[in-house]
């Protein structure tokens, strides 16, 4: 392929003071980088936009470095090597990296990992079901929540990239009941008709505590996978079984709150002998091979439904990011770099 002399990437130009907005970003044109010794140049095919990125836009302590103003953002990407100055990579290799939010990624060979295309499956799967998003759901359920066959499971934000995997995995691993929450009737229908959830509810129509009480019909939750926090976490605490386990993955309901609040009924964690465990995906790297083998085989066997929302064009990355935060996507949100 012909490598253009110039390409585009997305910079952060201001820090949020509330919710994310397009004005925080600027799409700039730069000279396409040339790889030096030990480096490769990759044409990104898809880039990922994820909730955790919003936290990195604030200049505050976190588990990951915050983004610099006037600098390109970073995030997962998948693409093809178009020029290589390293013997370990050849032109045409499919690779993943953390050099997203740009058309062309250039860096040391160590920043890229080769992956094999799956027959009949979009390469964007390596940003979702087979990427950090998918592994987050996998290790959160099996590691942090210590899931076991027969468990009753509730997943909040179940129609998102992580949630769509967690519910299916719980069913594949033998859950007795899997319940999900989502923000529209269409997403609720998707959960129960396509993704194997036994029951689901629209939290914008029915308060989570009331919905769970009715759907559980006297049962208690053994596992709660929390992507939302806030009202959902309070509802789960109220409906947990004794010795239940809660995996704290995200609090998307509070990412833009300047003064987020904790659950008001946390005392129930004491009374019910609950385990609440926060986790980060890189704490479970020892499960990476197991994750990729199990989920890739499930996809190839048709036992796992991979849902995603695709935005087209690098210029649309900021809006895709905002849409994802606002719950306007189904499954994993990705951006096709060139459309």
Range of the domain at 123: 6-127+307-336
- Greatest extent of the chain over all pairs of C-alpha atoms, in Å: 65
Q: Are residues 166 and 186 in the same domain?
A: yes
Does the residue 272 lie in any domain? Answer: yes
Nearest CA among 142, 147, 152, 156 for reference residue 220: 152
Does the residue 66 lie in any domain? Answer: yes
Does the residue 293 lie in any domain? Answer: no
Does the residue 289 lie in any domain? Answer: no
Does the residue 290 lie in any domain? Answer: no
What pLDDT, on a 0 to 100 scale, did the predictor assign at position 251?
Answer: 83
Does the residue 296 lie in any domain? Answer: no
55-94 b/e with 16+ CB inside 10 Å = b? Answer: bbbeeeeeeeeebeeeebbbbbbbbebbbbebeebeeebb
Q: Are residues 115 and 223 in the same domain?
A: no
Q: Are residues 160 and 121 in the same domain?
A: no
Does the residue 300 lie in any domain? Answer: no
Give CA–CA dist 44/116, Å, rounded: 15
Average pLDDT per 10 consecutive residues for the chain, totaling 339 residues: 93 92 96 97 97 89 87 96 98 97 98 94 96 95 98 96 95 98 96 96 97 97 96 97 96 62 90 97 94 95 92 97 91 90
Q: Are residues 179 and 200 in the same domain?
A: yes
Q: Are residues 39 and 159 in the same domain?
A: no
Strand order in the sheet with 71-72: 25-31, 6-12, 71-72
Sign of CA dihedral 219, 135, 310, 257: positive
What pLDDT, on a 0 to 100 scale, did the predictor assign at position 253?
Answer: 61
Q: Are residues 142 and 258 in the same domain?
A: yes
Q: Are residues 97 and 156 in the same domain?
A: no
Give the model confidence (pLDDT) of 70-82 as tens digits.
999 999 999 999 9
CATH of the domain at 213: 3.40.50.720
Domain count for the chain, please give it. Answer: 2
Give the model confidence (pLDDT) of 110-133 as tens digits.
999 999 999 999 999 999 999 999
Does the residue 301 lie in any domain? Answer: no
Q: Are residues 147 and 272 in the same domain?
A: yes
Q: Are residues 103 and 136 in the same domain?
A: no
β 308-312/332-336 pair status? parallel
284-301 b/e with 16+ CB inside 10 Å = b? Answer: beebeeebbebbbebbee
Please state the pTM of the whole predicted model: 0.88
Q: Are residues 113 and 233 in the same domain?
A: no
Q: Are residues 122 and 138 in the same domain?
A: no
Q: Are residues 122 and 151 in the same domain?
A: no
CATH of the domain at 21: 3.90.180.10
β 6-12/275-278 pair status? unpaired
């Amino acid at each position: 392929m012909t490598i253009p002399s110039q390409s585009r990437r997305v910079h952060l130009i201001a820090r949020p003071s509330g919710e994310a907005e397009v004005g925080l970003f600027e799409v700039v044109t730069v000279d396409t980088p040339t790889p030096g010794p030990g480096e490769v140049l990759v044409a990104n095919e898809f880039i990922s936009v994820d909730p955790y990125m919003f936290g990195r836009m604030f200049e505050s302590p976190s588990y990951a470095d915050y983004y610099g103003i006037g600098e390109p953002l970073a995030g997962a990407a998948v693409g093809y090597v178009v020029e290589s100055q390293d013997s370990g990579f050849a032109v045409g290799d499919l690779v993943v990296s953390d050099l997203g939010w740009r058309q062309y990624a250039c860096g040391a060979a160590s920043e890229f990992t080769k992956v094999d295309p799956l027959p009949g499956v979009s390469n964007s799967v390596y940003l979702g079901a087979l990427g950090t998003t998918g592994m987050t759901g996998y290790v959160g359920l099996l590691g942090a929540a210590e899931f076991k066959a027969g468990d009753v499971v509730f997943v909040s934000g179940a129609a998102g990239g992580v949630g769509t995997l967690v519910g299916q995995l719980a069913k594949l691993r033998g859950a007795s009941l899997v319940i999900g929450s989502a923000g529209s009737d269409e997403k609720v229908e998707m959960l129960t008709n396509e993704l194997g959830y036994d029951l689901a509810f629209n939290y914008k129509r029915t308060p989570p505590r009331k919905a769970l009480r009715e759907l559980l019909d006297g049962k208690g939750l053994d596992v709660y996978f929390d992507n939302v926090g806030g009202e959902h976490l309070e509802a789960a605490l109220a409906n947990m079984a004794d010795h239940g386990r809660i995996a704290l993955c995200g609090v998307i309901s509070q990412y833009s709150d300047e003064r987020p609040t904790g659950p008001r009924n946390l005392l129930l964690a004491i009374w019910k002998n609950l385990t609440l465990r926060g986790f980060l995906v890189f704490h479970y790297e020892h499960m990476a091979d197991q994750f990729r083998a199990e989920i890739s085989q499930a996809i190839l066997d048709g036992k796992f439904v991979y849902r995603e929302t695709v935005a087209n064009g690098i210029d649309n990355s900021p809006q895709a990011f905002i849409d994802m935060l606002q719950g306007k996507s189904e499954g994993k949100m990705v951006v096709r770099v060139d459309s």
